[in-house]
Structures are given as C-alpha cells and as structure tokens.
A = this chain, B = another copy of it.
Amino acid sequence: MKPYKLAAKEDKKHNTIISISTDTGKVMIGQGYHVLIAGPCAVESADDFLQLALFLKEEGAHILRGGLFKPRTSPYSFRGLGMEGLDIMLEARRITGLPIISEIMDYRDIELMYDAIDILQVGSRNMQNYSLLDELGKLKKPVLLKRGFSATIEEWLLAAEYILDGGNNEVILCERGIRTFETYTRNTVDIGGVALVKHLSHLPVLVDPSHGTGRWELVTPVAKAAIAAGADGVMVEVHQEPDKALSDGRQSLNKDNFKLLSRSLRELALLENRIV
C-alpha cells in the first residue's frame, strides 16, 4: 500500500470531482472537466481588479484568482493588501458570478476568509506547514495545495494526506514548477509528474505555468502541454499592464495573450473530450 492511503487512487473507484456553486451555476473541477483560473498575482486596486475580472469572465475564465497575502522572500517586498483586498474580491465575485480563490498563509485568517473565499490556496512555501494543513483539514472548503518547489511527488501527496486525514476531502493539487539547476526559467514544470499524479491519485490536478516558468512567453505553450498531459486545468496570472505589476509582472499575460490562451486551451480540451 502507498503511504498516502487516502490520496491514492487504489482506494477510490471514482475520481474526486469538486463542485463549486455560484449564483449562476456550478464550476466543476476534476477528471473530465476543464477549468481555467485567472487573475492578477496580487489584488492591487478595486478599479483594475473589477475591470479585469469582467474581461476574464467574458474570455472564458471559470474562477478568479487574486492574492491578498503574498509570501515574499524578502520582508521588504510588497506583501499584499491583506484583508483590505477582500472586499474587492467579493465585489468581483458579485459582479461576475465567478468563484474566487486566494492564498491563506496563517490559520488566524481562516475565520475572515472562510465565508468569503471559495477555494483556499496553500502556497508552495507552506506545503509542509503542518499546523496550517491540520487546521485546513478541519474545514468543509476546497483547498488548492501547491506542490512545494522542492517537494517530491510522495511528499506532495503526503501533504494532501494531512488535509484528507483531518476530514476535508476537497483537495485540489497544483503543480507550479520545481527548483532545478536551470536558470533561464524561474522553475521547471514537472510535466511527467503531472501525468504521474493523475495516475497515482484520484484528486484533481492543475498546473500553474506562470510561476512554473516565470516568463509570460512560455505560459501558453506550457499551459497547453499541461492539458495535453492530462491536467484538469490551469491557473494563470493576468495583468492589465504587466510592466506595472507590483509583483510577478514578468510572468503575467496581458489581456490579448490571455484571450489567445483561453481559446487554445478550449480547443485542446475539446479534443481531449473534456467538458469546457
């Protein structure tokens, strides 16, 4: 038996499909569906976020992303608007009807975020923050668990196991690139790992090609690769003016490129018989 007994496919006849209700319907995440999550790295201002949200909705995004708390390597970098940004995200959800996802770094924020956010994201640096995983395991709320940037597949599935073992079975895995010796790209998307995790586990698996490559011109090819390899969807960073982004501008798509991405992925997902 695998050490990750709840995450392993062998114990489930069916793949886990996560359904998120919205005012206008449902978004499904998992085997057989295609999901596209998009938004800026960080929520920076109300006007920009709302305008962008409407655009993303129109162009085919299923879920809105936006960072409130940004884990930053340096204490002197912009660390996000925090709870101030939450109202902006809620307004975006109201006007677009799209579910929202944001990163949680500290379990003290669960109380405030629980009602507002549809999917709580655990970032790469916190994949083995077991106190946080233990608390998320107690919730009834989908959790998107990013792979640690140097976590093996086994460690990643065991981190998911912490949440599942706590009683929360709505875990979404997200590959976001691993750290290697290569320096031309920010990280190395482990595309074989994506195919393998789909093979080993019943959980939905997404890919984040924005962090995974760190270069906007590689986001679309790698997003397409993800869908072709069997990922259940992708999460990408989009910014109205990438050059002016307070974080991660180098890896953000502009609106025109997002439009092209969305269409390419849709075609590919249809070829793969996914519900788009």
Chain A interface residues (CB < 8 Å from chain B): 3-4, 71-76, 105-106, 108, 125-126, 128-131, 149-150, 152-155, 158, 161-162, 165, 177-185, 187-196, 198-199, 209, 212-213, 215, 217-218, 221-222, 224-230, 267-268, 271
Bound-state Cα–Cα, A128 to B70, Å: 12
Contact check, A192 vs B126: say whether CB atoms are below 8 A apart.
no
Bound-state Cα–Cα, A198 to B222, Å: 12
| Given A129-B126, A129-B129, A184-B153, A218 contacting B195 (CB threshold 8 A) | yes
Contact check, B193 vs A184: say whether CB atoms are below 8 A apart.
yes
Contact check, B188 vs A192: say whether CB atoms are below 8 A apart.
yes
Residues in B whose Cβ lies below 8 Å from that of A212: 192
A228's partner among B190, B192, B218, B227 (CB-CB below 8 A) is B227
Bound-state Cα–Cα, A138 to B183, Å: 32
Residues in B whose Cβ lies below 8 Å from that of A178: 180-182, 188
Bound-state Cα–Cα, A47 to B217, Å: 48
Q: How many copies does the complex hold?
A: 4
Contact check, A130 vs B105: say whether CB atoms are below 8 A apart.
yes
Shortest C-beta distance, A257 to chain B (Å), equals 14
Which residue among A125, A158, A165 has the maximum number of chain B CB atoms within 10 Å of its CB?
Answer: A125
A182's partner among B74, B131, B153, B222 (CB-CB below 8 A) is B153
Q: 7 additional contacts, CB 8 Å, given A73-B158, A149-B150?
A: A74-B161, A150-B150, A180-B181, A183-B183, A185-B192, A195-B218, A224-B229
Residues in B whose Cβ lies below 8 Å from that of A195: 213, 218, 221-222, 225
Bound-state Cα–Cα, A192 to B192, Å: 12
| Given A125-B129, A230-B221, A188 contacting B188 (CB threshold 8 A) | yes
A192's partner among B162, B189, B227 (CB-CB below 8 A) is B189
Residues in B whose Cβ lies below 8 Å from that of A226: 225
Shortest C-beta distance, A229 to chain B (Å), equals 4
| Given A74-B158, A75-B158, A228-B225, A192 contacting B180 (CB threshold 8 A) | no
Residues in B whose Cβ lies below 8 Å from that of A192: 177, 185, 187-189, 209, 212-213, 215, 218, 221-222
